[in-house]
């Protein structure tokens, strides 16, 4: 038998850990059609059978208001997996069971995996799983996703549900008023069910079973009834009710509201139905002998938080953590690792290639392509792998431990002024490391509007690859105040970000204050396995990109630098296509102080990788090494021009890898172009202002 | 007792969530917060009758951390202002 199983659960419930534990390394990672939400699928052995496990987005409820909720609901309704595996965090049972209740309402075969039950029991908590299963109407299996225990029981429950599906619904557990209203509405509805695919009109059906135009399976009547009782207008209009039906339903809803208002004056349908679900959960938990864990764990977590979110200590602690992260990444450790890799590539691989070419007697252009194109280009990017992994190591640990949520908590107020929430804080900080990874990190931002705005702003946080450029110019022109000059650039980047945020807020991102309602999970020890897996995924991703996009770009740049417009191989780059191109853009860059074609070309090659600005200048000015280049630069730049050049480098569009990653995460070409336009405009305007105003003083 | 003093001393039974003291429990009476956030608040368990404890406020005084239904949540003061509380309450 080939089973299809959907994995559903709250964020932070251990869903990803369980998915990885069940499926191992054989995962297919993609996106849900039409949106940028990650979709993971994998095959795994379940007893003698094979199963396809689909990881649904982490959601708190099934109401169709966020993309993630819509995806989850549409997948369950249209693709009709054989079994829904609902992972539930036993340390946060009451809130987690809210989603379980809604999944029960959908009447699809359900298995509840009670994660972290071992932790609850260690801390003196208890729940009778057999009793809970009976009360809920779905098998409840205690597991530990982290320790991989309880999987045998989980498998037999899944197989049993698949062979003999059983879901008595959730409504039977709700209070008498709710049950009565549901029954009346179900009878009024008769066969009426939502037509078409109203929950996912913006999505195409994902995967098997529901091609475009396939008839939508009808959701259970009780599920529709509860939506109507919540007062969901979109649910009303999707049903195409007759006048008589509408009248009956309105009467039932009215009676339900009146009954509810006798207890809670002024309450509405939404709060009444949610209250009915939570009341049912409380009753079920009480009857199944649930005793929560002792407060010890919470108390430790609370103690940590008293320091971490302390009125005066919070900011210094945060800065210290960030300082440690950057010191490790860009300090001796990270630089040493990168340097080692660089040595291996340049002196190892490079020398080997040179000898091989000499032995084979290959023509000069092939040697040039391999050495100056591929090895310099791809190698120049690959050397950043250790530093990127270092940043990710820190960020993974911070995330798994629960500190990220605290950073969002303490920074929310400051970010609100820019129309963002605390959730955007971490991806932005990651931008100081690498824009490409920061943009991927923006996935943690729940809401699409905020996520897009965060991605658009991240490039203004000066990334690590720009440091070599600053270092070069600061050493050549501002020997006495090097640190200050570099610091001023970082601050200028943040200022530009703030300005752009305000502009975006007034233009492209006008609508809506984003709701900021965020869970603060207790602090936990990060799982080394999870961290290692994430690092490996990053490394694989990065190397794949280096082998494809960067490889292709490097060859193109080499070609432009080595061939003349009439396609002859040239060694003097001034006569190359690049030289001609540089001559064309030089007049445009003259007002900002870069009339020299070589400066324009250096900036152009920086679009492949920011470090390439330095290496290109080195080649074009024919300097043997960095030291010689530092000595030569004052002949070509004034100090003012040098500063303007650094500002331009700081603000202009990020490297190709970052742009590709932005395109993927934004899910929109238009927004990607908006970002490129924004950076180009900001860079030109700032460099122009600095150069022209500066000339008045330093002429 | 003058109105503003009564409010300051908490003599009025009805306060909103943002007016709780650090560590204080109270019971939700009504969720009057409007807009898209309302559904999220209710679904996260802020329903009439639920007990909520204010744990702490972030360093700038906003947002705030609350405990309800055995877990911790952070919401902004603006949203908390629309949640009417009544005295008493516990976990």
Higher pLDDT, A218 or A471: A471
Residue A66, pLDDT > 50, answer: yes
Strand B15-16's sheet: what is its strand order? A517-519, B71-75, B64-68, B51-57, B25-31, B83-86, B15-16
Retrieve residue A243's tokens: 């006048």
Instruction: For A117-158, write each residue's pLDDT tens digit.
Output: 988 888 888 889 999 999 999 999 999 998 899 999 999 999
Residue B4, pLDDT > 50, answer: no
Q: Which of A10, A175, A166 is nearest to A96 (CA)?
A: A10
Give residue A331's pLDDT: 72
Containing B7, the helix (H) or strand (E) segment is helix B3-9
Residue A398 neighbours by CB under 8 Å, 6+ apart? A321, A404, A407, A426
Are A60 and A11 in contact by the 8 Å Cβ rule? The answer is yes
Q: Which of residues 505-544 of A touch B (CB under 8 A)?
A: 512-513, 515-522
The whole-angstrom separation of Cα A143 and Cα A147 is 9
Which residue has 């091989």 as its token pair? A356
Instruction: For B17-57, write each residue's pLDDT tens digit.
Output: 999 999 999 999 999 998 888 999 999 999 999 999 999 99
Residue B5's pLDDT band (boundaries 50, 70, 90)?
Answer: very low
Cβ-based contacts under 8 A for chains A and B: 116
CB contact under 8 A, B65 and A520: yes
- Partnered with residue A500 across adjacent β-strands are none
CB contact under 8 A, A274 and B41: no
Min Cα–Cα distance to chain B from A299, Å: 12
Residue A524, pLDDT > 90, answer: no
Which residues on chain B are in Cβ contact (under 8 Å) with A305? 56, 65
**Of A192-201, A204-213, A443-452, the least confident:** A204-213
Q: What angle do CA A47, A50, A52 make, to 5 degrees?
A: 130
**Of A82-86, A355-359, A440-444, the least confident:** A440-444
CB contact under 8 A, B69 and A409: no
Eight-state DSSP code of residue B18: G
- Partnered with residue B28 across adjacent β-strands are B85
Q: What is the mean pLDDT of residues A629-646?
A: 92
Residue A208, pLDDT > 50, answer: no
Give residue A207's pLDDT: 40
Retrieve residue A541's tokens: 């991703």
Q: Is the dihedral of CA A134, B50, B73, A106 positive or negative?
A: positive
Give one DSSP letter per residue of A50-103, joined into a string.
EEEEEEPPP-S---TTSHHHHHHHHIIIII--SEEEEEEEGGGHHHHHHHHHHH
CB contact under 8 A, B58 and A266: no
Q: Which residue of A has its CA nearest to B42?
A: A271
Interface test with A, best of B47, B50, B52, B66 (most A CBs within 10 A): B47
Containing B64, the helix (H) or strand (E) segment is strand B64-68
Instruction: For A280-290, write each residue's pLDDT tens digit.
Output: 999 999 999 88
Give residue A241's pLDDT: 85
| A405-428 core/surface letters (b: 16 or more CB in 10 A; e: else) | bbbbbbbbbebbebbbbbbbbbbb
**Of A72-86, A331-345, A678-692, B57-71, the least confident:** A331-345
The whole-angstrom separation of Cα A230 and Cα A224 is 10
Residue A60's pLDDT band (boundaries 50, 70, 90)?
Answer: very high
**Interface check A299 vs B, CB under 8 A:** no
Give residue A47's pLDDT: 80
Which residues on chain B are in Cβ contact (under 8 Å) with A311? 59
Which residues on chain B are in Cβ contact (under 8 Å) with A312? 59
Q: What is the mean pLDDT of residues A548-577?
A: 81
For chain B, what is the largest distance between any 2 Cα atoms, rounded to a whole number of angstroms?
39
Higher pLDDT, A382 or A353: A353
Residue A624, pLDDT > 80, answer: no
Which residue has 């649930």 as its token pair? A290
What radius of gyration do chain B's Cα atoms show? 13
Closest partner residue to A278 (CB to CB) among B45, B63, B75 is B45
Give residue B1's pLDDT: 40
CB atoms near residue A307 (< 10 Å): 10
Residue A202, pLDDT > 50, answer: no
Residue A26's pLDDT band (boundaries 50, 70, 90)?
Answer: low
Instruction: For A602-614, write each residue's pLDDT tens digit.
Output: 898 888 788 778 8
Give the whole-number percent of chain A exceeding pLDDT 70.
92
Give residue A209's pLDDT: 40
Containing A380, the helix (H) or strand (E) segment is helix A376-382
Give one DSSP letter per residue of A166-234, joined into a string.
----SGGGS-HHHHHHHHHHHHHHTT----S-GGGTTSPPPSTT--TTPPPPPPPHHHHHHHHHTT-HH
Are A110 and A84 in contact by the 8 Å Cβ rule? The answer is yes
Q: What is the mean pLDDT of residues A619-628?
A: 75
Q: Cis bond leading into B63, ω under 30°?
A: yes
Give residue A250's pLDDT: 94
Higher pLDDT, A379 or A236: A236
Give residue A375's pLDDT: 79
Q: State the distance between the two ends of chain A, measured CA to CA, in whole angstroms.
A: 81
Q: What is the mean pLDDT of residues A675-698?
A: 93
Q: What is the mean pLDDT of residues A392-397?
A: 84
Give residue A211's pLDDT: 41
pTM of the model: 0.83
Q: What is the mean pLDDT of residues A423-435?
A: 83
- Strand B71-75 and strand A517-519: the pairing is antiparallel
Higher pLDDT, A364 or A380: A364
What is the overall mean pLDDT for chain A? 85
Give residue A217's pLDDT: 64
Give residue A81's pLDDT: 93
CA atoms within 13 A on the CB side of A20: 16
Are A41 and A55 in contact by the 8 Å Cβ rule? The answer is yes
Which residues on chain B are in Cβ contact (under 8 Å) with A519? 71-74
**Interface check A266 vs B, CB under 8 A:** yes
Which residues on chain B are in Cβ contact (under 8 Å) with A65? 36, 39
The whole-angstrom separation of Cα A395 and Cα A401 is 10
Retrieve residue A342's tokens: 């660089």
The whole-angstrom separation of Cα A485 and Cα A49 is 64
Give residue A330's pLDDT: 67
Residue A198, pLDDT > 60, answer: no
Which residues on chain B are in Cβ contact (under 8 Å) with A270? 38-39, 42
Phi, psi (degrees; rounded to nearest 5) at A412? -55, -45
Chain B positions contacting chain A at CB under 8 Å are 29-31, 35-45, 47-50, 55-56, 58-63, 65, 69-76, 79
CB contact under 8 A, A270 and B48: no
CB contact under 8 A, B48 and A275: yes
Residue A685, pLDDT > 80, answer: yes
Min Cα–Cα distance to chain B from A74, Å: 19
Instruction: For A246-266, write each residue's pLDDT tens digit.
Output: 999 999 999 999 999 999 998
CB contact under 8 A, A309 and B59: yes
Higher pLDDT, B87 or B76: B76
Give residue B9's pLDDT: 45
Give the whole-number percent of chain A exceeding pLDDT 90.
37
- The three-state (H, E, C) secondary structure of A458-493, written as one string: HHHCCCHHHHHHHHHHHHHHCHHHHHHHHHHHHHHH
What radius of gyration do chain A's Cα atoms show? 30
CB contact under 8 A, B42 and A274: yes
């Amino acid at each position: 038998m080939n089973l299809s199983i959907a994995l559903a659960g709250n964020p932070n419930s251990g869903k990803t850990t369980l998915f990885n534990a069940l499926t191992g390394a054989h995962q297919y990672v993609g996106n849900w059609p039409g949106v940028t939400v990650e979709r993971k699928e994998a095959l795994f052995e379940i007893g003698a059978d094979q199963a396809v496990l689909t990881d649904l987005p982490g959601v708190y409820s099934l109401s169709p208001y966020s993309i993630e909720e819509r995806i989850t609901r549409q997948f369950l309704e249209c693709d009709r997996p054989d079994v829904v595996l609902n992972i539930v965090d036993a340390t946060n049972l009451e809130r987690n069971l809210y989603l379980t209740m809604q999944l029960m309402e959908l009447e699809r075969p359900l298995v509840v995996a009670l994660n972290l039950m071992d932790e609850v029991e260690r801390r003196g908590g208890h729940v009778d799983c057999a009793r809970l299963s009976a009360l809920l109407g779905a098998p409840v299996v205690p597991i530990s996703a982290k320790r991989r225990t309880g999987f045998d029981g989980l498998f037999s429950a899944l197989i049993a549900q698949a062979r003999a599906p059983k879901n008595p619904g959730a409504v039977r557990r709700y209070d008498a008023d709710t049950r009565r209203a549901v029954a009346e509405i179900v009878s009024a509805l008769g066969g009426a069910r939502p037509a078409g695919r109203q929950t996912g009109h913006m999505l195409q059906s994902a995967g098997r079973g529901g091609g475009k135009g396939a008839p939508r399976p009808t959701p259970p009547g009780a599920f529709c009834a509860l939506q109507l009782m919540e007062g969901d207008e979109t649910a009303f209009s999707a049903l195409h009710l007759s006048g008589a039906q509408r009248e009956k339903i309105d009467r039932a809803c009215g009676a339900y509201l009146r009954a509810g208002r006798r207890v809670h004056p002024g309450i509405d349908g939404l709060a009444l139905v949610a209250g009915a679900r939570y009341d049912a959960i409380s009753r079920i938990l009480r009857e199944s002998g649930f005793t929560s864990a002792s407060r010890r764990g919470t108390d430790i977590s609370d103690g940590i938080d008293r320091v971490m979110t302390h009125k005066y200590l919070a900011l210094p602690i945060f800065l210290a953590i960030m300082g440690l992260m950057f010191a490790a990444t860009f300090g001796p450790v990270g630089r040493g690792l990168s340097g080692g890799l660089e040595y291996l590539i340049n002196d190892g691989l490079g020398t080997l290639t040179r000898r091989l070419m000499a032995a084979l007697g290959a023509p000069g252009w092939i040697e040039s392509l391999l050495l100056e194109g591929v090895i310099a280009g791809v190698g120049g990017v690959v050397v950043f792998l250790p530093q990127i992994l270092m940043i990710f190591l820190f960020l993974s640990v911070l995330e798994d431990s629960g500190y990220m949520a605290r950073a969002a908590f303490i920074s929310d107020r400051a970010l609100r002024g820019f129309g963002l929430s605390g959730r955007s804080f971490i991806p932005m900080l990651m931008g100081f490391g690498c824009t490409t990874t920061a943009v991927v990190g923006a996935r943690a931002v729940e809401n699409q509007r905020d996520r897009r705005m965060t991605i658009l702003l991240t490039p203004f946080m000066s990334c690590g690859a720009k440091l070599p450029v600053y270092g070069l110019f600061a050493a050549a022109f501002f020997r006495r105040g090097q640190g200050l000059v570099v610091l001023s650039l970082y601050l200028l980047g943040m200022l530009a970000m703030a300005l752009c945020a305000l502009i975006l807020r007034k233009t492209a991102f006008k609508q809506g204050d984003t709701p900021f309602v965020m869970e603060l999970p207790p602090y936990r020890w990060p799982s080394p396995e999870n961290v290692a897996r994430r690092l490996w995924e990053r490394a694989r991703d990065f190397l794949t990109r280096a082998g494809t996009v960067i490889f292709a770009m490097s060859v193109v740049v080499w070609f432009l630098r080595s061939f003349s417009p009439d396609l002859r191989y040239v060694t003097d780059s001034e006569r190359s296509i690049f030289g001609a191109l540089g001559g064309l853009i030089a007049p445009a860059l003259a007002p900002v102080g870069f009339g020299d074609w070589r400066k324009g070309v250096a900036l152009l090659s920086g679009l492949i990788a920011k470090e390439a600005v330095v290496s290109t200048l080195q080649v074009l000015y024919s300097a043997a090494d960095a030291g010689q280049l530092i000595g030569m630069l004052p002949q070509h730049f004034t100090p003012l021009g040098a500063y303007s050049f650094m500002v331009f480098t700081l603000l202009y569009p990020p490297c190709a890898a970052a742009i590709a990653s932005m395109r993927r995460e934004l899910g929109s070409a238009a927004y990607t172009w908006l970002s490129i336009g924004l950076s180009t405009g900001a860079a030109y305007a700032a460099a122009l202002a600095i150069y022209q105003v500066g000339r008045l003083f330093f002429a | 007792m003058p109105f503003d003093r009564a409010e300051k001393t908490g003599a009025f039974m009805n306060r909103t969530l943002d007016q709780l003291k650090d560590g204080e429990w109270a019971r939700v009476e009504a969720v009057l917060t409007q807009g898209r956030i309302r559904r999220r608040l209710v679904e996260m368990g802020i329903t009439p009758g639920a007990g909520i404890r204010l744990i702490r406020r972030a360093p700038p005084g906003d947002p705030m951390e609350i405990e309800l239904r055995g877990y911790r949540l952070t919401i902004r003061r603006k949203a908390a202002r629309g949640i009417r509380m009544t005295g008493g309450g516990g976990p």
